[in-house]
Amino acid sequence: MKATKQQAFDWLGKQKIKVLTGIVFVALLSMLLGASVNTVAAALLLITVAAFSTFYFNYFTAPVNFELVKMSTILMAYTHGIVAGLIVGVLSTIIGKVLIGRIDEKLPISVAAISLVAVAAALMPAAGIATLGIILVAAYNVSMFAISLATGGDIGWNLPYEGTNFVINAVLFSRVAPLIAPLL
């Protein structure tokens, strides 16, 4: 059922305090960080989407790793620099882990790895987003695979887990990221 314009306005009227609070929050955060409102809004959107992209882990257990943390981090670092990339990468990683209840010994490794990805993405703005993203995702997945095996991880789980993550992100960076990057 499609909502009418009046239904949309009625809903906004009921939610006006929440909407106004959100607008004020974004504006204050923008002033605090010295970034444009659009940049802050984009960062908050990317953090939210990336963090919630891991939520399926609560319901589905298989060595398949679909997430949008790396794409969001690389896109923000590529378009807005190291600090923006670090904020998106670190916050979406931590929030995502909290949402799926996986606050464990691997969290600091994940945060460090996504931070390195953000820095690398910001330092290579001349590269195309698709190529850069695929290279950085490959480096991340190979590193995490090696770390997991070195710390006693199961190759039967980790190989498809990191492999599917690479394939999914390669498709996202070749098809979706070039469309999103100019909008940021």
pLDDT digits (tens, 9 = 90+) for 11-50: 777 777 777 776 677 677 666 766 677 878 888 889 989 9
Rounded to two decimals, the pTM is 0.84
Using one digit for the tens of pLDDT, what is the confidence trace for 126-151? 889 999 999 999 999 999 999 999 98
pLDDT in tens, 58-92: 888 888 889 999 999 999 999 998 988 999 999 99
At residue 162, the pLDDT reads: 93
pLDDT in tens, 86-115: 999 999 999 899 888 888 888 899 999 999
Q: Tell which residue, 132, 66, 119, has the closest CA to residue 89.
A: 119
Flag whether pLDDT at 3 surpasses 70: no
- Average pLDDT taken over every residue of the chain: 87
Q: Are 79 and 183 in contact (CB under 8 A)?
A: no
CB atoms inside a 10 Å sphere around CB 146: 13
Element (H, E) at 144: helix 129-150
3-state helix, strand, coil in the chain (%, to 5): 80, 0, 20
152-166 burial: b if 16+ Cβ within 10 Å, else e = ebeeeebeebbebbb
52-67 pLDDT, tens per residue? 998 888 888 888 889 9
Higher-scoring residue by pLDDT: 124, 22: 124
Q: Which residue, among 164, 178, 90, has the nearest Cα to 82 in the 3D structure? A: 90
pLDDT at residue 39 in the model: 79
Q: How far apart are CA 97 and CA 15, in angstroms?
A: 29
Helices (H), 15-105: 16-33, 37-52, 69-80, 82-99
pLDDT of residue 125 exceeding 90? no
